[in-house]
């Protein structure tokens, strides 16, 4: 017998929210919804926020922070999980995905 856990409704509570820049001139917002990360982009013309990317991770996100290296034009995302791992992510707008830089 194998058991499979699937959530019928996704989380709606925003636990963490950070803002940054992925190399473009636009500001993006990354929010954590338990074990889901969403990349949001506000539209200055309409005033609405659009979801660019939604990623479900297999851990619960305990901390989320943005940082920028000296002399760079893009921000990186530091994610801390309930297992104690610290992961550094980079968003690629051309691929529309987060790439793991360091774990």
pLDDT digits (tens, 9 = 90+) for 24-48: 778 899 999 888 899 999 988 898 9
pLDDT-derived band of residue 89, with 50, 70 and 90 as boundaries?
Answer: very high
- Token pair for residue 50? 């659009």
d(CA 39, CA 50): 9
At residue 65, φ and ψ (nearest 5 deg) are -150, 145
Q: What is the pTM of this model?
A: 0.83
Domain boundaries, the chain: 16-102
* Per-residue pLDDT reduced to its tens digit, 44-60: 889 899 999 999 888 88
DSSP conformation letters of the chain = -------SS------EEEEE-BSSSS-EEEEE-SSEEEEEEE-TTT--EEEEEEEE-SS-EEEEEEE--TT-SB-EEEEEETTS-EEEEEEETTTTEEEEEE-
d(CA 16, CA 44): 23
């Amino acid at each position: 017998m194998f058991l499979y856990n699937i959530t019928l409704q996704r989380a709606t509570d925003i636990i963490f929210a950070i803002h940054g820049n992925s190399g473009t001139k636009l500001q993006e917002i990354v929010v954590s919804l338990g074990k889901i990360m969403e990349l949001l982009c506000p539209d200055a013309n309409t005033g609405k926020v659009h979801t660019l990317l939604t990623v479900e991770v297999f851990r619960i996100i305990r901390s989320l922070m943005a940082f920028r290296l000296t002399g760079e034009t893009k921000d990186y995302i530091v994610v801390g999980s309930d297992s104690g791992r610290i992961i550094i992510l980079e968003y690629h707008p051309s691929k529309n995905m987060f790439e793991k830089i360091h774990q």
